[in-house]
Amino acid sequence: MAGRMDGDRIAVKQRSRYFLIIPPLIFMGLFYFYPLASIFSLSFAPQDNTPFKGVEKLFSSTYYVRVLWFTTWQAALSTLLTLVLALPVAFVFARYTFRGKDLLLSLTTIPFVLPTVVTAAAFSALLGRGGLVNTVLMQLFGLEQPVFRLEHTVWFFLMAHVFYNFTVVLRLVGGFWARLPGQVHDAARMLGATGRIVFLRVTLPLLAPAIMAASLLVFVFCFTSFGVVLILGGPRLATVEVEIFRQAVHLFNLPVAAALSLVQILFTFGLMAAYTRLERRTSVALLPEVTPKRTDRTLGPKDRLVINTCVGGMAVLLGAPLLALFIRSILTETGVGFTYYLALFENRAQSILYVAPAVAIINSIGFALAATLIALILGCLSSAFLAGAKARPAVLLDPILMLPLSTSAVTLGFGFVVALDEPPLNLRSSWVLPAIAHALVALPFVIRSVLPAWRSIPQSLREAAVMLGASPWRVWFAVDWPILRRALMVGAVFAFAISMGEFGATVFVARPQTPTLPLAIYRYLSHPGSLNYGQAMAMSCLLMLTTGIGFGLLEKLRPASGNF
């Protein structure tokens, strides 16, 4: 009798756990699946009495075929360049121990977590017509024209893609490389194999899954790149993301924009499915803890040359754009000063429609706080369910909650425009819509941050607290909260940083009178004038500082078992 009562109590507890997942699933249904379903419906809707007109126009026009082809080959070339530059550095970090290695490895992640508009502004500050390199060369050699004319060329944003994705290859491949068993290499050398043969026949085959996983992830990021291509590429070099934005916002050709979004969704879903399968084989996270230290041999002159060359090249590649961004933000026409920063608080246009940059900063902070609150609540509920659910529901619902990771922000923003502009969800002009969009993008990161902590709570502690007479709230504050609070802080910082830098969805859903900081940077970069350019640099530096501080907190707060 007692055993049956215990079984009934466990069954009731399992059924009650499903109430935890109801709010996250409602949120996903309203703000993810419903907008995507609206895109599907619009892409297949008849137009001019012709069924599937949007999809037919997409593949019957050579222009859209060229856009798809350009998007594909620029992503492939960006991936190849990233691999060529990052793999030697991954080898150095995997095989050698040297002073400052841990710090350097942490700093390499900063470019990846920077908002895309900041990345674009950094390369504009370094290699643009008025960038630091051209300014110095023109002054040194008395030139009247800039030496490097990279604006609106594919090479400009290819370099930015390498800068942005460098740490993906370094972390994934380098982390896996550092964990390869040394006995295999030693055995090959004992059998007479040279270093070249060992690499080609032993190391490379073992690294292949990690290299493929990193390549797929970089390809997806470059295929769905928006802010970098929009700012650095110009109107002639449109990728699928940029073309969705142009068709929806500038031309208001929603069926074609929906068809492009549909193609992109199917493409990225397939690639992310392949990446997930490969990632399980590598078992190395995108942002893992610093790789274990190992020393294969005493460092000789050749080893030091390899280390200094690779680390020095990496420092120039990743550090020069950020340094140029800061220098351009304080380098005014009259000399060094903080004129551009002070101008952020002035309304020089004297227009009632003008929104000062300082207001954009306040808007970004407000949206970020709201998005963080939403993402934390939903992420905590989702993680609590997944941590205690049976295997089958967890296996089914976990990837569903991760779906926003495999969907571009531009597609999500466009889906909001299509789906949420009529009753019962007429939120198109609502101030809360940007916060909802940001929370949707941040939700998977919060879940991945909190879920390991939920799973680490011993069930015996909860049962002991209940046996001692503790109420459910007392169990939460005495047992769960001390274990969860660190992970919740990590999730909060992630959500806040993602919201502060989000650009792709915000460009669709933000109202003109409530722009965010990335939108303000884009607007100022799009208008001529040294003051506009300087203010864009100043705002980019502030956003870079915010992101850097957030990542610094993540490094301090992240649990040792964190898997991001």
**Domain boundary assignment for the chain:** 63-292+305-337, 344-564
Residue 352 has pLDDT above 60, yes or no: no
Structure tokens at 123: 């390369």
Structure tokens at 92: 């150095």
The CA distance from 318 to 323, in Å, is 9
The CA distance from 110 to 431, in Å, is 30
Q: Which residue has the higher pLDDT, 308 or 190?
A: 308
What is the per-residue pLDDT across 121-164, written as a single tens digit (0 to 9) for each?
A: 999 999 988 888 988 888 888 888 888 888 888 999 999 999 99
Structure tokens at 292: 């274990």
Please check whether residue 556 is in contact with residue 489, taking contact to mean a CB–CB distance below 8 angstroms.
no
Residue 563 has pLDDT above 50, yes or no: no
The CA distance from 246 to 258, in Å, is 12
For residue 236, count CB atoms less than 10 angstroms from its CB and return exposed for 0-12, middle for 13-18, buried for 19 or more.
Answer: exposed
The 3-class secondary structure across 372-436, one letter per residue, is HHHHHHHHHHHHHHHHHCCHHHHHHHHHHHCHHHHCCHHHHHHHHHHHCEECCEECCCCCCHHHH
The CA distance from 438 to 274, in Å, is 26
% of the chain at pLDDT higher than 70: 84
Query: What Rg do the C-alpha atoms of the chain give, in angstroms?
Result: 25
What is the per-residue pLDDT across 526-547, written as a single tens digit (0 to 9) for each?
A: 887 888 888 889 999 988 888 8
* Helices 530-557 & 301-330 angle (0-180, nearest 10): 130
For 349, the 3-state DSSP assignment is coil
Query: Which helix (DSSP H) or strand (DSSP E) does residue 212 occupy?
Result: helix 204-223
Q: What is the pLDDT of residue 456?
A: 81
Q: Which amino acid is at 326?
A: F
| Residue 136 CA to its chain's centroid (Å) | 33
Distances (CA, A) of 9 to 316, 366, 473: 62, 44, 19
The CA distance from 32 to 24, in Å, is 11
Q: Which amino acid is at 217?
A: L
Q: What is the pLDDT of residue 562?
A: 39
Fold match between 63-292+305-337 and 344-564? yes
Q: What is the mean pLDDT of residues 75-91?
A: 95
The CA distance from 437 to 367, in Å, is 10
Q: What is the pLDDT of residue 53?
A: 61
Single out the residue of 119, 441, 404 nearest to residue 268, CA to CA.
Answer: 404
Residue 48 has pLDDT above 80, yes or no: no
The 3-class secondary structure across 292-347, one letter per residue, is CCCCCCCCCHHHHHHHHHHHHHHHHHHHHHHHHHHHHHHEECCEECCHHHHHHHCC
Please check whether residue 121 is in contact with residue 537, taking contact to mean a CB–CB distance below 8 angstroms.
yes
Structure tokens at 136: 């110095």
CATH number of 344-564: 1.10.3720.10
Q: Which amino acid is at 224?
A: T
Indicate the fold that domain 63-292+305-337 takes in CATH. Answer: MetI-like fold (1.10.3720)
What is the per-residue pLDDT across 394-439, written as a single tens digit (0 to 9) for each?
A: 777 888 888 888 788 888 998 998 888 877 778 877 888 999 999 9
The overall average pLDDT reported for the chain is: 81
The CA distance from 322 to 558, in Å, is 25
Residue 75 has pLDDT above 90, yes or no: yes
Q: What is the pLDDT of residue 40?
A: 83
**Cβ-proximal residues to 492 (8 Å cutoff; 6+ apart), any chain:** 372, 376, 446
- Name the pLDDT band for 29 (thresholds 50, 70, 90): very high
What is the per-residue pLDDT across 214-243, written as a single tens digit (0 to 9) for each?
A: 898 899 889 988 989 988 887 778 889 899
Structure tokens at 20: 């935890």
Single out the residue of 525, 138, 542, 534 nearest to residue 336, CA to CA.
Answer: 534
Scanning the structure block, which residue is given the tokens 């905590």?
Answer: 380
Q: What is the mean pLDDT of residues 192-207?
A: 73
The CA distance from 503 to 488, in Å, is 24
Q: What is the mean pLDDT of residues 442-461?
A: 84
